[in-house]
Amino acid sequence: MYSCVDLFSQDLEASDFYVEANNSFLETVDVTKSPFNAKGSDKKDDSAAVQKAIDFLSNKHGGGIVRIPEGDFYLSNLNLASNIHIQIDSKAILFPILIKDRALLFNLGNKKQALIKNVSIVGDGGRFTVDFRGIAKQPNSELGARVAICNNIKNFRIADFLVLENETKFPAINFGAVLDDRDNVVIPTNGLVENIEVKNAHYGYGVVQVQLAENILFRNLIGEGGVTLRLESGFRGFKNLGAHVRMDKIFGRNISCIKGQSALQLSPHTLNHGIVDVRGVTAVNCEYGVKIDKGFTTKKDIKNGYKAGTFDSKSIVKDVEAIYGETAQVRKIFLRFLPCELRDKIGGMSSGLKSITAPSLAAAHNFAAYKLLDNNMLVYTNTPEDFKNGDGHYKINFTDKEVVSRGFRKGMPKVLTMETDDYENCKEAGPYKIYIPKNVQGTLRSY
């Protein structure tokens, strides 16, 4: 579907990722009409009615359009089928139903299920709303809510909605993998995710997290809080994943963060991922604009034979702009990068207990391209051999020339690296003790 010739093109065609159905030939049903009879006017569960409409079209017509009109709909665990297209009125509001402290609206691909093809969830006449604010905040709570989980799926589009969050656990959309009906490991392929905004997200989550996927375009995503596009794979769901089970051909265009952690994060954990191409990244009042982490392993990973992962050196991140603010979501362990004169601006802990309100730290964070040698010296990862040693260091096509930083104090780094000063000699200010790792105490390095 996607040609090698166009792989690094600035301009991408939606049809290279998702082939749209000819809706004029599709049967259409309204979930509020007979025989489905969803109410949309009270707080009762409408899931059975909507699922009935999905199953009816799938079984009788091999697919079709399920319309959710204006109204308030309480939903949970809707299972899509091939050739089903959900169209949701822009005046509709979807509310979650918690099941064992978890809420999920749409399930796109279950384990032990045949591959789902040609599906969509889109707004009709504009963006619809998903409201997670009714999920109560609780200290150390594991309450979590998601709009969609994407696993065993091919050729899909998810678009056009606003999520009103409450700093709950999980991203709005999650990409992973399952074993299909033939016990093959399958991942999401060929998809378009666009025109989505999340407000008041948890520091550790946000709009999208991709663990495993191939040939997906993400565009026009806005996240207030958390990470907007998180390419992070801690996926250890299957012992022998195979080389094809990874992130590859992941594209991002126009990715924005407001008052959060970052617009884009790369964190490979224990997998060697393919190519990522993200351009047009904007962050306003965020911890970072872009965060590029090295791969890593736990003691359990090493015992199980895993090595630290990487992203392909052909990957690209460019056209990054970060605007300084003083109420970003900042993780406590990163407060050491805040200059002394800004320490009095450190505020309180978030309700999710994972971040602190504090000034932005840098336009970008890149710890992947540096490695610590045995003699305690840092070197820049710069040769192909460095990508093969299994220690998680890698270098992609990203430099400070691709970054514009605005409003940051003089002397603050544009790109924060392992060589960045951690300001050990500051007089403590604010309610939190600043942590300095023992191995770099007394040095001008942070790692």
Above 90 in pLDDT, residue 314?
yes
DSSP 134-161: TS---TT---EEEEEEE-SEEEEEEEEE
Question: CATH top-level class for 201-447?
Answer: mainly beta
What per-residue confidence (pLDDT) applies to 371?
59
DSSP of 261-306, one letter per residue? Answer: SEEEEEE-TT-B---EEEEEEEEES-S-SEEE------HHHHHTT-
Q: What is the pLDDT of residue 423?
A: 80
Mean pLDDT score, 184-202: 94
End-to-end CA distance of the chain: 43
Dist. CA 345–CA 348, nearest whole Å: 10
Cis bond upstream, residue 35 (ω within 30):
yes
pLDDT tens per residue across span 42-65: 999 999 999 999 999 999 999 999
**pLDDT interval class at 291 (50, 70, 90):** very high
Provide the 3-class DSSP secondary structure of residue 57: helix
Would you say residue 2 has pLDDT above 50? no
The mean pLDDT of 235-263, rounded to a whole number, is: 83
For 127-136, 154-163, 179-188, which range has the lowest pLDDT when averaged over its residues?
179-188
**pTM more than 0.85:** yes
Q: Evaluate if residue 258 carries a pLDDT over 90.
A: yes
**295 pLDDT higher than 50:** yes
Token pair of 122 as six digits: 């889109």
Please list, residue by residue across 190-229, b when 16 or more beta carbons sit within 10 angstroms of its beta carbon and e when fewer do. bbbbbbbbbbbbbbbbbbbbbbbbbbbbbbbbbbbbbbbb
Selected residue with higher pLDDT from 185 and 55: 55
| 4 band by pLDDT with thresholds 50, 70 and 90 | very low
pLDDT of residue 213: 95
- Please state the domain extents for the chain: 201-447
Q: How far apart are CA 258 and CA 244, in angstroms?
A: 34
Lowest average pLDDT, out of 20-34, 224-238, 312-326, 433-447, goes to 433-447
**What CA–CA distance (Å, rounded) separates 178 from 163?**
26
List the one residue out of 351, 355, 389, 359 whose CA is nearest residue 373: 389
What is the bridge-based pairing of β-strands 189-199 and 84-89?
Answer: unpaired
Higher pLDDT, residue 380 or 217: 217
CA distances, 289 to each of 22, 167, 210, 284 (Å): 39, 20, 18, 8
Percent of the chain with pLDDT over 90: 59
| Cα–Cα nearest to 270, from 291, 249, 239 | 239
Distance CA 19, CA 150 (A): 17
Distance CA 281, CA 437 (A): 31
Note the pLDDT tens digit of each residue in 378-422. 555 555 455 455 578 888 999 888 899 999 998 898 998 877 778
* 229/411: higher pLDDT: 229
pLDDT grade, residue 141 (50/70/90)?
low
Q: Read off the pLDDT of each residue in 173-179 and give the average, rounded to a whole number.
A: 90
Strand partners, 95: 74
pLDDT band at 444 (very low <50, low <70, confident <90, very high): low
pLDDT recorded at residue 5: 34
Name beta bridge partners: 379. Answer: 371
Residue of higher predicted confidence among 349 and 50: 50
Residue 239 pLDDT more than 60? no
- Averaged pLDDT score across all residues of the chain: 87
How large a percentage of the chain has pLDDT more than 70?
Answer: 85
Between 297 and 140, where is the model more confident?
297
pLDDT band of 145, cuts 50, 70, 90: very high
DSSP codes joined into one string, 364-420: EEE-TTEEE-TTS-EEE--SGGGGSSSBS----B--GGGEEEESPPTT--SEE-TTS
Report the pLDDT averaged over residues 24-33.
Answer: 91
Q: Report whether 262 contacts 283 (CB < 8 A).
A: yes
What SS3 state is found at 14? helix
Given a cut of 60, whether residue 375 has pLDDT beyond it is no
Would you state the structure tokens that stand for residue 162, as one six-digit string?
A: 């606003």
pLDDT of residue 426: 81
Q: Please choose, from the candidates 247, 261, 255, 163, the residue with its C-alpha nearest in 3D space to the C-alpha of residue 210.
A: 247
Residue positions counted in the chain:
447
| Region of residue 215 (phi > 0: left; psi between -120 and 50: alpha; otherwise: beta) | left
- Please give the sequence-ordered ranges of beta strands (E in DSSP) within 32-143, or none if there are none: 41-45, 64-68, 71-75, 78-79, 84-89, 92-96, 102-108, 116-124, 128-131
Taking the C-alpha atoms of residue 73 and residue 43, their distance in angstroms, rounded to an integer, is 7
Give mean pLDDT, residues 214-231. 98
What band does 1 get if pLDDT is binned at 50, 70 and 90? very low
More confident residue, 442 or 284: 284
**pLDDT grade, residue 225 (50/70/90)?**
very high
- Higher-confidence residue of 288 and 411: namely 288
Mean pLDDT of 231-259: 82
Please compute the mean of the pLDDT values over residues 142-153 and round it to a whole number.
91
The pLDDT of residue 190:
98
